[in-house]
Amino acid sequence: MVRKLQKADIDRVADIWLDTNLKAHDFISAQYWKRNFELVKEMLLQAEVYVYESDQKIQGFIGLNNDYIEGIFVSDKMQSQGIGKILLNDTKDKRNELRLNVYRKNTRAISFYQREGFEIQSDGLDEATGEKEYAMVWKKNSCFSQNALISRSF
């Protein structure tokens, strides 16, 4: 089940954030993630965050800033079981366009986002880590825009 983050969830969500970042971004110093842990806990409470809960335990979450995905995080034991896709699809249902940045070295995440319809828009550099990243975009294929295109071609 997907639901909005509650204050009582913050320790579990922050632990998933830290564990996932340490494993997915082994090319960035572990100290970088650990140093930001407390700040991220505070920021999560202020952000738009949705959690995926199974058997009354949070297994993953997605963080948003308007149409920008700050990140999708799934607990290590539950990865590759469709939780990230569930969180993303729930968000797609509520938005017409989504954007995100992903480290170029995180090929697993890039493949996931491309499978889910995201396209690479540009290259960039994350100033905080010095790592190269891609800016990616997803746009909803609406019936209206397809019909408008068809009617203009006649």
pLDDT score for 70 = 94
pLDDT score for 84 = 94
CATH number reported for the structural domain that contains residue 100 in this entry: 3.40.630.30
Count: domains in the chain:
1
CA pair distance 126, 135, nearest whole angstrom: 11
pLDDT score for 80 = 86
User: Domain residues for 140?
Assistant: 2-152
Mean pLDDT (10-residue bins), the chain, 154 residues: 96 95 92 94 93 94 96 90 94 96 95 95 94 96 46 43
pLDDT score for 150 = 45
